[in-house]
Amino acid sequence: MVNKKLTRTAIIILTLFFYQKTFAFQPNTLKKIFFKKEKNIEIVSIILKEKTPLKSFVLHNPERIVIDIENTIIPQIRIHKNISSKILKKIRTGQFKKYMARIVLDLGRNSGYTFNITSNKYEKNYHEINIEILSGKYSPKKQKNKLIFDKNLSKLILVPGEEETFRQENFIDENDLVQNKEKQPVKQSEQIEDADSKELVFLFDDSVPENIFEDSPDEKKQSFSFSGEITTRATKDRNKSDLIENNYSFRNKTMVEAKYKKYITASVLSDYLHFSSEEKTNDYNFDINELKFEYTSSFISFCLGKQIVRWGKTDQISPVDTLNPEDLRESITYEYEDRKIPLWMADLKLFSRFINIEAVYIPFFKKAKLDDFETDWSFMPHFKKEIQKSNIPPALKEYFKNMGIKKNDPDDENEFGLRLFKTFGKIDTGISWHRTNEDLPFIKNFPIKNLDVKKGLNPATLLSSINPADLKNEKIELEYKQADIFGMEFETTLAGLGLRGEAALQDDESFITSSFTSIRRKSLIYIIGADYNAPSNIYINLQFSQKHIYDYIPEILYSEKDNFSLSGKLSKDFTDIWTKISVQYLFNLTDHSKYYCPKIEYNYFKNINLSAGINIFSGKKDTYIGNLRDNSQYFMDLVYFF
């Protein structure tokens, strides 16, 4: 009996031994690669002849995800395909070692992202590997056959049962990228070994055909794709502090988007904003959000239509990013990217080894969205309503009741932009020029003359400083002045830190004075920042900025000659309970005003994000942030993706 057991054991061992030896000389084959986008996820699908162990890691400068597939060969030595998407820019493949295929996913800006690797069966007994890339951090849910790797985490999360299939090497040094037996010198950051020779070849050859890449099966069956997003926010003031104010607000934004392959994008936006309590308002807009045609190749990118184009590198405060205006009807309480308004424009990029060039043309002017009188966040908050409730003569009340605003669009609505950008070593740089029309108004005329409201314009300061003889039967007249903005930007990494900065010189910028009319002065602003992904899922972002106003006069409101500030964000992910806590902040070091927003997010439910927080403004009333201190509020957000 014992001998029979030993014999069976020996047979099993020998069978496994020869099976592995045989397998080593019958390598797997990479068949096809697909790319597709689903909602806010970008997916690269790799089709293999059979299931094979793999390992993945990330490389920086530029940012890349690398997938090494063992015991696998590629029909062609090296191939690549450019991708037009938000995160992924290019897919490259190569035979890294004789029986190891390498897939390199080149990403765009070095921001937080997450990638997941899914292993599934495919048609005709083939095997499929899906690499799902998401912008920002990701809280893993229990999913079968899934490996989850977060760039912002220091560890890998493995689903039980998959440890033998997937292996991980995090943050491999680029000097160790080529690991052949001969230890040949590494001349560039990414080199591969020819499967049929010992020569090192590069992954940058543009002449190799791309027939291994195909449209995804879903795209072949259906050229059109649809997606959307519903965002709802409800707010409540922290305390009642003014005679007239909006204690509650409700906003619903519904965006529906359709895409035809990767060339045409069309979306519509329904935007409803309601303010309640003493002065109720309802603002509803239904409009085209984006409508654009895109074409991208290895040397040119062209996009025509209604769109948002982002310049600059820094977060939340970006002096170089001047192309699209902002929706400021709720001030800065929404994320910077969510405040941007699409414009009709043409955007052309030309790529070369020497320099990259971007040219932008905007034919129609669009100002920033800002209410006039009716809300807490208006240009003149509740100005008329408060005066009507004040103890002043009826004739004076009637004068202010009839006060109107005349807005004059610029004589020349055309805007032009030019940007040169290139990567030097590890530094991504750019310089730009933008001939623009200011999004915020220049106050050409105010009907009350000889004003001196150094603490800002509100009914109390106004009524205490006016002379009835100074009241003119005129309108508040607003203009939007032309300006030239010269900018520079950079981004790099150093010792685990992400470093970035911007600077912008504007030849003429509009500033409000104590007479409540505007003057124009040259200004210079720069901002430099760093972010760090610390252990325990902690993220730290810190930025320092200075703004200098040339030929400064004391009558300028809400700003000193030199203004220094700190801004940024702190966050921590609790991945086991699908929760993230964060605080976003802006501290003006010159006038000691500050804004901060602590928030908690929960994303357990599929396609749903829940969050709650507080927008807190503090400071003196004669400062920009302090002027909003009565608007501090609680808020709750619900976002549904479909």
Which tokens belong to 411?
């004589």
Q: What is the pLDDT of residues 343-383, one digit of tens each?
A: 999 999 999 989 999 999 999 999 999 998 889 898 888 88
State the pLDDT at residue 76.
Answer: 55
> 321, 527 in Cβ contact below 8 A?
no
Residue 240 placed within a domain: yes
**Rounded Cα gap, residues 59 and 385, in angstroms:** 59
Strand pairing of 594-602 and 608-618? Answer: antiparallel
Residue 186, phi then psi, degrees to nearest 5: -90, 115
Same domain, 158 and 274: no
State the pLDDT at residue 222.
Answer: 58
Same domain, 239 and 164: no
Using CA atoms, how far residue 18 sits from 9, 22, 222, 451, in Å, is: 14, 6, 46, 94
State the pLDDT at residue 490.
Answer: 95
Strand pairing of 54-59 and 64-70? Answer: antiparallel
Same domain, 350 and 454: yes
Domain count, the chain: 2
Same domain, 229 and 195: no
Termini Cα distance of the chain: 63
Same domain, 515 and 398: yes
Same domain, 566 and 589: yes
Strand pairing of 248-260 and 224-237? Answer: antiparallel
**Rounded Cα gap, residues 53 and 551, in angstroms:** 66
Same domain, 552 and 592: yes
Same domain, 206 and 233: no
Residue 10 placed within a domain: no
Residue 263 placed within a domain: yes
| Secondary structure (H, E, C), 281-307 | EEEEEEEEEEEEEEEECCCEEEEEEEE
State the pLDDT at residue 113.
Answer: 66
Same domain, 153 and 232: no
Query: Buried (b) or exposed (e) across 601-635, using 16+ Cβ within 10 A?
Result: bbbeeeeebbbebebbbebeebbbbbbbbbbbbeb
Residue 17 placed within a domain: no
Closest CA to 537 of 136, 21, 196: 136
Which tokens belong to 578?
């699908």
Residue 133 placed within a domain: yes
Q: What is the domain extent for residue 143?
A: 25-174+188-213
Same domain, 512 and 544: yes
**Rounded Cα gap, residues 393 and 98, in angstroms:** 92
Residue 9 placed within a domain: no
CATH number of the domain at 205, please.
2.60.40.3500
Same domain, 208 and 239: no
Q: What is the pLDDT of residues 158-177, one digit of tens each?
A: 333 333 333 333 323 333 33
Residue 563 placed within a domain: yes
State the pLDDT at residue 78.
Answer: 53
Which parts of the chain have pLDDT scores under 70?
1-27, 39-40, 60-61, 75-84, 98, 108-113, 119-125, 135-222, 242, 455-458
CATH number of the domain at 534, please.
2.40.160
Residue 12 placed within a domain: no
DSSP calls for 163-210: TTTEEE--S--GGGS---TT-----SS-EEE-TTSS-EEES--TTS--
Same domain, 205 and 297: no
Closest CA to 255 of 39, 6, 509, 51: 39
